[in-house]
A and B are shown apart, each in its own frame.
Chain A
C-alpha cells in the first residue's frame, strides 16, 4: 500500500487523457477544413500518446509482479464510504494482471485502427469525443479488473456501459440506435440482478462473525463469510446471470451480434475483446471464489450451456452473410470454451480459460480490425460482395488468413494453447462435454475457411479490383497483434507462469483438486522422456 500506486496510475492515465481531449477547444464554426483536420489530428495523436503511456506503465508494473509472491499484489486500499464499508481497494492476481495487460495492449492498436472512423463519410462526428470515450472506457475496463472491493467492481462494471453505449449509438453504423439500446437494456438488466446480490452479500457479511459483524464489500473479507447453501445459490445466480449476459453465454447472447455489427470495428474489438471478458473474469473471481457450494450445484447446467454455446455459436456463424456478425457469433462459440474451462474446475481448464481470454482478445481483435479494413475499402459488410482480395492486396489477405487461423486454433498460434488446455482440462473430468466441445474445432475450420475463401480467393470481383494493400498505419495497428499471437503460440510459458499461481489459489478457494488419472504414469521413468523435467508426472495432487 506504500510506494507508487501502480494500479491507480494505470487506470488514471487514460482518464487523464480523456479529460485532456475534452479540454481541446472546439474550432470556430467558420474556420477552414484544414484547421478542423489539424485539431482532429491533435486529438488523435494525444489519445494515442496516452494509450501508449498507459501500456508502458503497465509493462513496467508487470515486472513488479512476483510469480512467487502473494496472490494479490500491488494492492491499494482506502476507505471510500465508511458508512457502508465501501473501500477503494485495488489489487491484481495473475488473472487480473494478464487481463489488464491485454487491455493496455489492445488500446493503442484500436486507436490506430479507428483513426478515420469518426471523420469518414458524409456525417462528420466529433473526433475528439470518440477518442475521449475510448480512453474513458479503458479506465473503466482497467478498473473493473483491478477492483478488489465488490462495490467498486460494480461501479466500474456499470460505468463501463456508458462510453460503449455512446460509441455504438452515436458513432456506429446501420441500425445503431437499436443495437445500442438493446446492448444497454441487456446489460442493465444483468447489472441490476448483480446489484441485488452485491447488497445481499453486504448484509450477510454484517451478520457474519468472520467480519466482526461489520458489513463490508472487501473481497478479502467476503471469502471468509460462511453462507448457507441456499443463500449461495441465490447470490450465485445474481452474479452469474449478469456475467452470462456480458460474456455472453447462450441463450443470453442475442444482443452481441447486433452490437458487433453496428459498432465500428475498433469499438467492437473493445467490446468483444475486453468488455465481454469482464463476464468470464467475474465468473472466476466472484462466482467461483465466493460461492463454492453453489458452483458444484450449478456446474452441470452451466457446462451444458457452455457446450451449447460452442456448437450453436459455430453453426450460426457458418450461416452468416455479414462478416461482422459472423465474427460476433464465433465469439459466442469462443466464450463457450472459456466458460467450459472455468466450470470444469481443473487447473488446465482454469489456466486455459484465462489464457483464452487474452488470446481471444488478440486474435479476434486482429480478425475484426482486418475485416474492418476490408469493409472500409469496399463499403460493405456482406461476404458475397468480395472475392479475390488475395490477388490485389496480398498482405491484407495474408494477415486476414493468419488471424482467421488463430480463430480456428491452429497450433503455433496462441489460441491453440488455450483451447487445448480447456479441452484437455474439461475432458479429464467430463468426457462427454469434452467430446462434444471437440466438434467445435471442426466447425471452426468451416466458418473461418469458408469466409476466407469467399472473401479473398477466387476470381477478382469488380468492386475489389481497385483495393490497395495495407497502409503503414494499418500495418502498424495489426502487426503487434499478429506478433503476439505467434509469440504466445510458440512460447506461452511467461504468461502461464503468471496465471498458474492464481489458478492454484482459486482452485483451493473452491476446494477442488484435479481428477487423478486412472493409470498414472510412474514417476521413475524420466529416462523415457529425458526432456520432461519430471513435472509432467506430478499429475494431480492438490
Chain B
C-alpha cells in the first residue's frame, strides 16, 4: 500500500497531539492556580483528541481501501548530513485503531478519575500527567518513523514513572516507579539499537523506506541483519509490554492509582510492544527466526502471567498477572505472521475495553472498601455495589471467552491461528494458548467468587485484624462520574468482539497494513471448542474451591507452585541475584578502585615528586598576587626555556 499525503481534514491531524500537550503544559506551568478547573481541562483535551480521532476515522473510511495510508510531515526534527529525522504523522487503519482506543478509553478514564481522585489535593498534577501520557502514546502510534516512535515510547515510560510514583511519599511507590522505568530502559536500549542498526544498514529509519527494503528482498543476503533487528525490536517490546524476561515491573506498577493501572498498565501503554511488532510486520515477515521468538515469548508469558494471576490475593495484582497473560496472547498472535496480526490487534482493542473495565471496577470496590485490595477481606459485595458488580461481571465473561462476549471472538482467533500454523511448533503454541484459556477462567472465576459472592469477610464499622490502621469499611456504590465510564466500557466488553470479527469487518479494514490469514476463520473451530471446554472446567474448579466453600480470611500456605506464584514465579529473586547484587558489588568495587586505585596512584606520585602538600602549604601565603606572580614567572621561564632549546 502506498502512502499518500494527508489532505483535507487529515491535514489537521497534528491537533491530535496538540490538545493533550497543551493540557499538560497549562496544568504543569499553571500550578496551583489551575487546581479548581484543572481536571476539567484535562478531560476536555482528551475528549477533543477523541473527537478529532473519530472525524479522522470516518474520513479514512471514506477513502478507497488502498488509499487509507496518509502521511503528514510536521517538521524536520534532527537534520544532520546523512541523517534525517522528522516528526511526521502516519494515519492508516492500524494507527487510527489505536488513536480511537487511546483517546476513547483514555477519556473515559479521565472522567472516572474526577471521582476517584476527588479527595486528592494533587488531582491537577494527576491530570497533567494523564494528558502527558495521552500525548506520548499518540506520538508513539502516530509517528511515521522509528525515531519519533522511540520518542513516544520513552515518553509513555516517563508518564508511567510519574504516575506509578504519583503517591511518591510512599517508599514502595517510589521504588516501583524507578523499577518500572529502569526495566523499560533495558527494553528501550534494545529498541534504540534496532534503530541504529536500521540506520547503519539502510541509511534511514523511516517506515516507508525500511519496509520497502524488506519487501523488495534486497536484504536477502542479510537475513542475519533482519533477524537481529527483529530480536532487538522484540527486546524493546518485552520491556514495554512486560513480557518474559522483563515482566517483573508490572506487578509493582500497581502501586499507582487505579485509573493509572487501568489506562496505562492494562489498556494502552503495555500493549505498545504488540503495536511495535505488528507495525514492523514487513521486518518480521522476512525473518522467521525472529517471528518464532516473538511467538515463544508470547506463549511463555501468557502462561506465566496466568499462573501468577491464580495465586494473588491482591485484586490489582491478580489483574496485573492477567494483563501480562492477555498481552502474551497478543504477542503470540503477532508472532504468527499475517495469520495472526489482525487477531492480535483485535484482541488488544477488546482487551482495552474489558480490562480497563475490570480495573475501574476494582477501583470502585477499593473506593468503597477504604483502599483495601485484599480479596480475602472482600466477599458478598454484589449487593452493595450493584452497578460495579454487573459491569465487572460482563468484563469477566468477556475475558474468559464465553460466547458471544468480546474475548471469545478474538482469543479464539489467536488460538486458531496458532493451530493453523501446524507442525510441532504450531500445536505446542496452540496448546499453550488453550491451557492458558482454562487457567484464565480459573483465576477470573476465583476473583469473582472471592469478591462478589459468598459470606462477607469484612466487618461493618470495625476494622478487621490486619486491615489498614483504624479504618472501617462502608461498602457503597461509587458516584455516577465513576459508574458511567464502567457502563460504557462494559458495553464494549459485550459487543466489541462480535462487531469487529463478524463478517471479517476488522480484517478487511486492517488487511492493507498487516495482511490477513489465507482462509478466513469460521465462528466455531476444533481448538476453540477444546478451549471452551477447558474454560468451563476452570470455572468449575474455581467454584469448587472458592464458591462452594467459604474462603479463609488468612491465606493458606498452599503448594509449592502456589508459593512460587505468590512470589511472581521468582522474577524478582532472579533479578536481584543475577543483576542487582552483582551490580552493587561492581559499583562498590569501582568506587573503591577509583578513590584508592587511580587517585591513590596519582596522589602517591604527587607526594613522591614534590612532597607536595607540605611544600605547597609553605608557599601558600594567601595573597592572590603572589600566586599570580609565581605562576607567571613559572610560565615565562618555561616558555623561554623551551624556546631556547628548540631554536
- Contact between B175 and A453, CB atoms less than 8 A apart: yes
Q: Kindly identify which residue among A199, A458, A500 contacts B169, using a CB–CB cutoff of 8 Å.
A: A458
Query: From residue 135 to 169 of chain B, which have CB atoms closer than 8 A to chain A?
Result: 144-145, 147, 150-151, 154-155, 158, 161, 165, 168-169
Distance of A527 Cα from B209 Cα, bound (Å) = 9
**Given the complex, which residues of A lie within 8 Å of B28, measured CB to CB?**
398
User: Which residue of A has the minimal Cβ distance to B167?
Assistant: A457
A388 at the interface (CB under 8 A from B): yes
A39 at the interface (CB under 8 A from B): no
B459 at the interface (CB under 8 A from A): no
**Given the complex, which residues of B lie within 8 Å of A539, measured CB to CB?**
82, 203-204
- Contact between A525 and B208, CB atoms less than 8 A apart: yes
B5 at the interface (CB under 8 A from A): yes
A517 at the interface (CB under 8 A from B): yes
- Contact between B591 and A319, CB atoms less than 8 A apart: yes
- Contact between A522 and B212, CB atoms less than 8 A apart: yes
- Contact between A531 and B210, CB atoms less than 8 A apart: no
A196 at the interface (CB under 8 A from B): yes
**Given the complex, which residues of B lie within 8 Å of A425, measured CB to CB?**
83
**Given the complex, which residues of A lie within 8 Å of B425, measured CB to CB?**
none
- Contact between A519 and B213, CB atoms less than 8 A apart: yes
Distance of A390 Cα from B207 Cα, bound (Å) = 41
Distance of A500 Cα from B613 Cα, bound (Å) = 47
User: Which residue of B has the minimal Cβ distance to A460?
Assistant: B169
**Given the complex, which residues of B lie within 8 Å of A253, measured CB to CB?**
598
Interface string of B590-621 (1 = CB under 8 A from A): 11001000110010001000001100100010
- Contact between A428 and B199, CB atoms less than 8 A apart: yes
Q: Provided the pairs A525-B212, A530-B5 are in contact, do residues A458 and B168 lie with their beta carbons within 8 angstroms?
A: yes
- Contact between B638 and A192, CB atoms less than 8 A apart: yes
B558 at the interface (CB under 8 A from A): no
A466 at the interface (CB under 8 A from B): no
- Contact between A532 and B73, CB atoms less than 8 A apart: yes
Q: How far is the CB of A150 from chain B (nearest CB, A)?
A: 14
B545 at the interface (CB under 8 A from A): no
- Contact between B169 and A320, CB atoms less than 8 A apart: no
Q: Provided the pairs A319-B591, A348-B83, A539-B203 are in contact, do residues A254 and B3 lie with their beta carbons within 8 angstroms?
A: no
Q: Provided the pairs A348-B83, A515-B200, A521-B212 are in contact, do residues A531 and B74 lie with their beta carbons within 8 angstroms?
A: yes
Distance of A319 Cα from B197 Cα, bound (Å) = 32
- Contact between B182 and A312, CB atoms less than 8 A apart: no
Q: Which of B268-276, B434-442, B477-485, B627-635 faces chain A?
A: B627-635
Distance of A492 Cα from B83 Cα, bound (Å) = 14
The binding surface of chain A is classed by DSSP as helix
**Given the complex, which residues of A lie within 8 Å of B182, measured CB to CB?**
442, 445-446, 449
B81 at the interface (CB under 8 A from A): yes
- Contact between A519 and B192, CB atoms less than 8 A apart: no
User: Which residue of A has the minimal Cβ distance to B153?
Assistant: A411
- Contact between B587 and A529, CB atoms less than 8 A apart: no
- Contact between A532 and B80, CB atoms less than 8 A apart: no
- Contact between B171 and A458, CB atoms less than 8 A apart: yes
- Contact between A528 and B207, CB atoms less than 8 A apart: yes
- Contact between B189 and A441, CB atoms less than 8 A apart: yes
- Contact between B209 and A427, CB atoms less than 8 A apart: no
**Given the complex, which residues of B lie within 8 Å of A531, measured CB to CB?**
71-74, 86, 88, 144, 206
- Contact between B199 and A427, CB atoms less than 8 A apart: yes
B219 at the interface (CB under 8 A from A): yes
Q: Which of B111-119, B294-302, B531-539, B639-647 faces chain A?
A: B639-647
B12 at the interface (CB under 8 A from A): no
A203 at the interface (CB under 8 A from B): yes
- Contact between B181 and A347, CB atoms less than 8 A apart: no
Query: From residue 310 to 362 of chain A, which have CB atoms closer than 8 A to chain B?
Result: 312, 315-316, 318-320, 346-348, 351-352
**Given the complex, which residues of A lie within 8 Å of B145, measured CB to CB?**
529, 532
B55 at the interface (CB under 8 A from A): no
**Given the complex, which residues of A lie within 8 Å of B4, measured CB to CB?**
527, 530
Q: How far is the CB of B208 from chain A (nearest CB, A)?
A: 2
- Contact between B208 and A528, CB atoms less than 8 A apart: yes
Distance of A425 Cα from B195 Cα, bound (Å) = 12
- Contact between A390 and B78, CB atoms less than 8 A apart: no
**Given the complex, which residues of A lie within 8 Å of B635, measured CB to CB?**
158
B84 at the interface (CB under 8 A from A): yes
User: Which residue of A has the minimal Cβ distance to B86?
Assistant: A531
B586 at the interface (CB under 8 A from A): yes
User: Which residue of A has the minimal Cβ distance to B587?
Assistant: A319
**Given the complex, which residues of B lie within 8 Å of A199, measured CB to CB?**
642-643, 646
**Given the complex, which residues of A lie within 8 Å of B181, measured CB to CB?**
445, 449
- Contact between B620 and A177, CB atoms less than 8 A apart: yes
**How many cross-chain pairs have Cβ atoms below 8 Å apart between A and B?**
263
Interface size on B, residues (CB 8 A): 94
- Contact between A424 and B196, CB atoms less than 8 A apart: yes
Q: How far is the CB of A160 from chain B (nearest CB, A)?
A: 12
User: Which residue of B has the minimal Cβ distance to A321?
Assistant: B591
B202 at the interface (CB under 8 A from A): yes
B421 at the interface (CB under 8 A from A): no
Distance of A441 Cα from B181 Cα, bound (Å) = 12
Distance of A503 Cα from B28 Cα, bound (Å) = 38
Q: Provided the pairs A424-B196, A445-B185 are in contact, do residues A316 and B202 lie with their beta carbons within 8 angstroms?
A: no
Distance of A533 Cα from B587 Cα, bound (Å) = 46
- Contact between B203 and A520, CB atoms less than 8 A apart: yes
- Contact between B639 and A528, CB atoms less than 8 A apart: no
Distance of A424 Cα from B193 Cα, bound (Å) = 9
A514 at the interface (CB under 8 A from B): yes
Q: Kindly identify which residue among B3, B588, B631 contacts A528, using a CB–CB cutoff of 8 Å.
A: B3
- Contact between B168 and A457, CB atoms less than 8 A apart: yes
- Contact between A441 and B202, CB atoms less than 8 A apart: no
User: Which residue of B has the minimal Cβ distance to A312?
Assistant: B590
A439 at the interface (CB under 8 A from B): yes
Q: How far is the CB of A202 from chain B (nearest CB, A)?
A: 8
Query: From residue 504 to 531 of chain A, which have CB atoms closer than 8 A to chain B?
Result: 504, 514-522, 525, 527-531
- Contact between B3 and A529, CB atoms less than 8 A apart: yes
- Contact between B77 and A195, CB atoms less than 8 A apart: no
Distance of A182 Cα from B168 Cα, bound (Å) = 41
User: Which residue of A has the minimal Cβ distance to B211?
Assistant: A528
B178 at the interface (CB under 8 A from A): yes
Q: Provided the pairs A412-B151, A496-B78 are in contact, do residues A420 and B192 lie with their beta carbons within 8 angstroms?
A: yes
Q: Kindly identify which residue among B202, B207, B631 contacts A520, using a CB–CB cutoff of 8 Å.
A: B202
**Given the complex, which residues of A lie within 8 Å of B606, measured CB to CB?**
182, 185
- Contact between B212 and A435, CB atoms less than 8 A apart: no
Distance of A496 Cα from B590 Cα, bound (Å) = 37
Q: How far is the CB of B231 from chain A (nearest CB, A)?
A: 13
- Contact between B81 and A503, CB atoms less than 8 A apart: yes
Across the A-B interface, the 7 shortest Cβ-Cβ residue pairs: A528-B208, A531-B73, A536-B84, A521-B209, A531-B88, A411-B151, A457-B174
Please report A residues at the B interface, Cβ cutoff 8 Å: 129, 158, 162, 165-166, 170, 177-178, 181-182, 185, 192, 195-196, 199-200, 203, 251, 253-254, 312, 315-316, 318-320, 346-348, 351-352, 388, 390-391, 395, 398, 405, 410-412, 416-417, 420-421, 423-425, 427-428, 431, 434-435, 438-439, 441-442, 445-446, 449-450, 453, 456-460, 490-493, 496-497, 500, 503-504, 514-522, 525, 527-533, 535-540
**Additional A-B contact list (4), CB under 8 Å, known A428-B200, A537-B204:** A254-B598, A458-B169, A521-B203, A529-B144
Can you list 11 residue pairs at the A/B interface with Cβ under 8 Å?
Answer: A178-B613, A203-B646, A347-B83, A411-B151, A427-B197, A441-B185, A458-B169, A514-B81, A529-B3, A533-B76, A540-B203
